[in-house]
Structure formats: C-alpha cells, structure tokens
Amino acid sequence: MGLQGVKKTGTQGFQKVVFENVVDTLPGGLILDVDKADYPDGYVPEGALVGRDPATGIGSVLSAVDGVIKPIGLTHRASEVSDGNTFANGVVISGTVRIKALPTALQAIVDGLRTALPRITFV
C-alpha cells in the first residue's frame, strides 16, 4: 500500500559512513570556493580534504597536502554546491576516520594526511 502523496526527493541510495566518531569541528564551518562544474552530482563529498587560504580566508577543497594551502580538516557531511560560495557546515578537525570510506583520491595519500592532520585517527 505505501504512503500516498509522498514523493522521494534528493539523492537516494547507500551512503558511506566516513567518521567513526567526531571529537571536534571547526566552529562556524567554512566557506568553500568551488566550481560547480567539478561536482556533477551537485555535492562536495563527505570526507573531502579542505584548507583555508591564508591570504583571503576562503576555503578550498584540496587533493594534496604539499601545496600552498595547509589542510585544516575533512568535511563532516556532503555539502551542496551553490553558485558563488559553498558553505561546508561541518569541518572535522579531531576524530576517527574510516580510510576505505574516504574519497578515492584521498585514500592514496593517507600517510600525508596523518602528518598534516595529527588530531584525526585513520583506521
């Protein structure tokens, strides 16, 4: 029978659990400067590596830990990409992360992540 008049919206399906536990997050989140074309599904994924540009204070999604922008944490939830700036409402700076649930690009640089984010445990 089901529920009549109820429509499913948004993304459906399996969502990986990235964090075993979250000890601390960046207060207030982080404004990310991202290009909508880089995220065809419309979301910055949970567990994305982010850092803040020291000159502008605007955040960026990083793919490596050896650049000019120093990593500060991982996104706590998937964040919808919007025109202009995207708001990441949770940036985990301390906690425990499942390596196999991280985005594929980050799984290859886990050793660098351990050094760059010493308050996060990778299991």
Structural domain boundaries of the chain? Answer: 25-122
- pLDDT at site 115: 95
Is pLDDT at 3 greater than 60 in this prediction?
Answer: no
Of the chain, the percentage scoring pLDDT greater than 90 comes to 58
> Tokens representing 76?
């706590």
Domain 25-122, CATH class in plain words: mainly beta
Distance (Å, rounded) from C-alpha 18 to C-alpha 102?
A: 6
DSSP code for 89 = S
Distance (Å, rounded) from C-alpha 33 to C-alpha 30?
A: 10
pLDDT tens profile 40-56: 889 999 999 999 998 88
